[in-house]
A and B are shown apart, each in its own frame.
Chain A
Amino acid sequence: MWSFSELTEWIDATLRSLMGDGWALFVEFVLIGVAVLVAYAVLALILIWVERKVCGFFQCRLGPNRVGKWGIFQSVADMIKILLKELIRINRSDKVLFRMASFFVIIGSICTFAAIPFAKGLQAIDFNVGVFYVLAVSSLGVVGILLAGWSSNSKYSMIGAMRSGAQLISYEISSGLSLMAIVVLSGSMQLSEIVAQQADTWFIFKGHIPAFIAFVIYLIAGHAETNRGPFDMPEAESELTSGYHTEYSGIQFGFFYLAEYLNMFIIAAVATTMFLGGWQPLHIAGWDGFNAVMDYIPSFVWFFGKTFFCVFLALWVRWTFPRLRIDQLLNLEWKVLMPICLVNLILMAIVVIL
């Protein structure tokens, strides 16, 4: 299977032959930064279009269909519109925090995005505590959301932010614990190592029932962390106009919007990496011909295929279930998901020992 490391090593060698090591490193950092940002923006546009199209189909509509064929340029048009919008100054808001909040949200999500192994040899950040890093950086968004609610001098934003704080911090526990189940199974926290271990069997099959339970719980908790679907309490259009980003306009609102969609993608990508084998193709032990055929499909196709499958699941759930009340939401986490997660962790430990 072709590895992207050939390309990156070639770039590295060319740069080093052209300039000093320090400069080459600097140029590589800039290139990686630009590549991550571009991939982030392009994926956001694709996701917004997919979301609107899928949502339309679930509601027996056609979705956007005017800009380009099947409306594929709809989100580009939206982007141009949002870039041209005025940034409204909010009276008596805390200017500095207000401006900073949207950056917190988007930086948290970009940092998580960079750690995902997209294809063979295509991973920007590969710590030996990768899982820990992903969990830590993705919860940076909560700070941004709380700041946004606090600084915008509006009761809707405030209530939205408070709810969001309660919700996100609670659901971090389940998502963390369910990922821990996989860490127990693989014995490593490094994302590239976790992916490499799934070359023969994906962890969702290797880990039997506990891995499946962890997968489902991770999807639920991840869904709640992205403030979407039945868990969109922080935004709750019907109660809070739109929660913590009520007062934002223009590209600052755009940042929140992008972060929401990308967080959905990141949750799906982490679920893919941890449970569905990342960019590894589907291998069934004993079927050598089948395995060889599967190897011909490029690794990024596998990754994006699985990720978009998870994204589709998230959209399906979002457009099916009604919104939960805040107390039901917290009950679900503290009384159902967390106990199941803890029991599941023990189960996983037993499976690993046996």
Chain B
Amino acid sequence: MKFFRYIKNIFLGIWHLLQGMYITMLNFVRPKLTEQYPENRGKHVYFERFRALLTMPHDENNHHKCTACGICMNGCPNGTITVISKMENDPVTGKPKRVLDKYLYDLGGCTFCELCVRNCPFNAIVFTNQFEHSVFTKERLVKQLNRPGSSLAPKPVQKPEVKVSNGNVEGPALHKGQPVPPEKTQTI
């Protein structure tokens, strides 16, 4: 009996080893997913949710949407963002008003948590897929996001409306494709 078990174990062992080899052979012939980076430069499509570089979109008239409220600066866990504001006289009302002077973003300190983008009430900043970041000195990692001479979009951005429908509270218009962050829906 013991002898038969010995023989049976040998064949069972061989069968299991062959199964393993079958699996690796499947891997061998499977098309490889490796992205050949410098060759596919500009051709490869990245996921929209891929966070690579914080940018501030400007429209054709060199207007951005940032009101220099500083929420992003205060919310950033790493102190990556510095919002420098200045006072300017509003051309319409003639009253002094706080506007953005410099929006400094230190790429070297950013962990790409995206808290700044989600907390901005005016959708003034977004993450893009531009990921080729390397520079030679640390200082060059600090980028100014607002373009020189840019200003706040003249039409005052609507105060974020809180719509109540079906008991669901909707926050301001969010970054495309993002789930509604719970802070904005629940804590009213």
Chain A positions near chain B (C-beta within 8 angstroms)? 54, 57-62, 65, 316-317, 319-321, 336, 340
Bound form: Cα–Cα A321–B10 in Å = 16
Is B20 touching A60 in the complex (CB atoms < 8 A)?
no
Q: Is B176's beta carbon under 8 Å from chain A? A: no
Q: Which of B20, B28, B33 has the most CB of A within 10 A?
A: B28
Is A320 touching B34 in the complex (CB atoms < 8 A)?
no
Q: Is B21's beta carbon under 8 Å from chain A? A: yes
Interface size grouping (class) on chain B: 10 to 19
Chain A residue with the shortest CB-CB distance to B14: A216
Q: A60-B27, A316-B25, A336-B10 are in contact. Are A65 and B36 (CB under 8 A)?
A: yes
Chain B residue with the shortest CB-CB distance to A316: B21
Is A321 touching B20 in the complex (CB atoms < 8 A)?
yes
Chain B residue with the shortest CB-CB distance to A317: B21
Separation in Å of the A339 CB from the closest CB of chain B? 9
Is B17 touching A321 in the complex (CB atoms < 8 A)?
yes
Of A58, A62, A317, A319, the residue contacting B34 (CB under 8 A) is A62
Bound form: Cα–Cα A54–B29 in Å = 11
Chain A residue with the shortest CB-CB distance to B34: A62
Q: Is B24's beta carbon under 8 Å from chain A? A: yes
Is A58 touching B20 in the complex (CB atoms < 8 A)?
no
Q: Is B43's beta carbon under 8 Å from chain A? A: no
Is A59 touching B27 in the complex (CB atoms < 8 A)?
yes
Chain B residue with the shortest CB-CB distance to A321: B20
Bound form: Cα–Cα A316–B32 in Å = 17
Q: A58-B27, A59-B27, A60-B27 are in contact. Are A320 and B21 (CB under 8 A)?
A: yes
Is A60 touching B33 in the complex (CB atoms < 8 A)?
yes
Bound form: Cα–Cα A144–B21 in Å = 33
Bound form: Cα–Cα A54–B23 in Å = 15
Q: Which of A60, A61, A321 has the most CB of B within 10 A?
A: A60
Is A320 touching B10 in the complex (CB atoms < 8 A)?
no
Is B20 touching A61 in the complex (CB atoms < 8 A)?
no
B21: A residues at CB distance < 8 A:
316-317, 320
Q: Is B95's beta carbon under 8 Å from chain A? A: no
Q: 4 additional contacts, CB 8 Å, given A60-B34, A62-B32? A: A57-B28, A316-B21, A321-B20, A340-B10
A317: B residues at CB distance < 8 A:
21
Of A58, A336, A340, the residue contacting B28 (CB under 8 A) is A58
B28: A residues at CB distance < 8 A:
54, 57-58, 316
Chain B residue with the shortest CB-CB distance to A339: B6
Chain A residue with the shortest CB-CB distance to B21: A320
A60: B residues at CB distance < 8 A:
27, 30, 32-34
